[in-house]
Amino acid sequence: MPEYFIPVSDQAAVAGRLSAMDAMGIDMQVLSVNPFWYRKDRDTAAEIVKLTNERLAELGAAYPRRLAGFAALSLQYPDLAVQQLETAVKQQGLRGAAIGASVAGDDFHDPKFHPVWAKAEALGAGYSYTRKARPNWRNGSGAMAGCRTRSAIRWTPRSHCST
């Protein structure tokens, strides 16, 4: 199992997280994993996502009032990502999905991703994403002068998500 997973059986790690949340006044935390599999082949990406989502679902089920999860998706394969999102929300109880800034350089406005966003909308699932700012072309070099990233969450509320 990759080292970034906190197994439910690791009570010390979970207790440490919950204690830190209490110290900061955080009632609930939504967990996700930064996508590192966007350049992997279909089978490898699918297996990474499967394991990731299973562990996130286990943590959410074990601590439903404290921890929830945003699913991982193999967005480089939009048809697979649609299936993964449906499984994550309907069967695993995850609240939505976490996605990176781009998928192997492809912008999320690309029509190939539209089925994923449509599935999220149909499921009432939220998604968290990091968006890279556009290059600053004013300096004439095309350099990424002043380039920043920002995070956003798109949420379509569902009545059964309330705690």
**CATH label of the domain that carries residue 109:** 3.20.20.140
Q: Per the structure, how many domains does the chain have?
A: 1
Q: With cut-offs at 50, 70 and 90, classify the pLDDT of residue 7.
A: low
What percent of the chain is predicted at pLDDT more than 90? Answer: 52
Instruction: Look at strands 126-132 and 149-154 and give their pairing.
Output: antiparallel
Closest C-alpha among 122, 126, 125, 130 to residue 151: 130
* 33 in a structural domain: yes
* 72 in a structural domain: yes
* 95 in a structural domain: yes
* 56 in a structural domain: yes
pTM score = 0.74
Domain housing 79: 11-161
Q: What is the pLDDT of residues 75-117, one digit of tens each?
A: 999 999 999 999 999 999 999 999 887 787 888 888 999 999 9
The answer on pLDDT for 27 being more than 80 is yes
CA distance 79 to 47: 15
Q: With cut-offs at 50, 70 and 90, classify the pLDDT of residue 159.
A: very low
CA distances from 156 to 4, 119, 159, 163 (A): 29, 12, 10, 16
